[in-house]
Amino acid sequence: MAVQLAAEEQMMIEMVRDLARERVAPRAAEIDAKGEFPWDMKDLLAKQDILGMPFPEEYGGLGSSELSILMVIEELAKACATTSLILCVQQLGALPILLAGTEEQKRRWIPKLATGEWLASYGLTEPGSGSDAGAMATKAVRTGESYVLNGVKHFITNAGIAHVNTVFALTNPEAGTRGISAFVVEDGTPGFHLGKVENKMGIRGSQTGELVFEDCEIPAANLLGSEGEGFKIALATLDRTRPGIAAQALGIAQGALDFATQYAKQRVQFGKPIIANQGIQFMLADMDIKTEAARQLIYHVGELMDSGSTAFGRESAIAKTFASDAAIEVTNDAIQVLGGYGYMKEFPVERMMRDAKITQIYEGTNQIQRLVIARALAR
């Protein structure tokens, strides 16, 4: 598939590729080991206008194509999955505002997200409500010109560090998913605080935690769209951001393949580089097949979105499912190519495998994606 990018976007991809190799990759192991949010990486992405890519020019962004955003996520994830996630979640947390916000709301929140001065989060998941969003318990009660929120959001990326938090809550508990509404809750709002911070297997530099709302009063003007439209906004957002997780998985897989291939060229056993052995050649070939197939699926979704199509939910689910499954298989095989060295933290492939696992889980588990695909077939 021939990829069509504007000249300035192609330059951006090349710049990010160099940046990832020279600035991001040397920090990746330390970010993983410390398990602390890499503010220096956030500042680097902001300084290079990378965080402005998902935002329209009229709000201070670059107005980049979806395809170019996916390619940038891929390049960053080759070096460091945590750093790539900064861009993914900036888009995820802000997209409900872009999709459903009024002009005043967009002017209020988007420019500082586009510059990277502010970070965003997306608050949908709860302790008892993961794949089943209808089991949501967080409530928002209208009182005059305000809403009062009570509840807990769980496993939220950028919890406690985001300035703008898109939060979904029940305004009509009797209506199920049709009673869910979307709100923006700003950092520092009384009654809103960070709960438990998770200690994770992978993407360890990304802060994941709880958003706790205890009689948290926000202006009614912070409602996105109308009451009851929250679930529709949430799904529309995920359809558009899910390919970014696929691109993250692709980058992880490509990074592992690149490292394993280079290692196989240098590692000598029985008097020759192990890449000369057919067993290793076939492993690397299968890794390359899976990685390239994932790339084509992901780029196809990007081009569909850029074409103005509104029917890409199936393709988005296919790309995310295939790429994340491939990332697990490719990183597992990369460890095998390195043998005992692959199991050691001195080499990056064990980190890549740990990072890859979450791509099968967040923004909709792969089991849920298969439901989406199957329902599309049934229609």
**Catalytic machinery residues:** 363
Phi, psi of 120 (to 5 degrees): -120, 160
Taking each helix axis from N to C end, the angle separating 103-115 and 81-100, rounded to the nearest 10 degrees, works out to 160
- Please list the alpha-helical segments (H only) found in the chain: 7-19, 25-34, 39-47, 66-79, 81-100, 103-115, 230-266, 278-306, 313-338, 349-357, 366-378
Q: Tell me the one-letter amino acid at 280.
A: I
CB 181 within 8 A of CB 168: yes
Q: Are strands 268-269 and 272-273 parallel, antiparallel or unpaired?
A: antiparallel
CA distance 377 to 352: 33
Q: What is the DSSP string of 119-187?
A: -EEEE--BTTBSS-GGG---EEEEETTEEEEEEEEEEEETTTT-SEEEEEEES-GGGGGGGEEEEEEET
d(CA 79, CA 74): 9
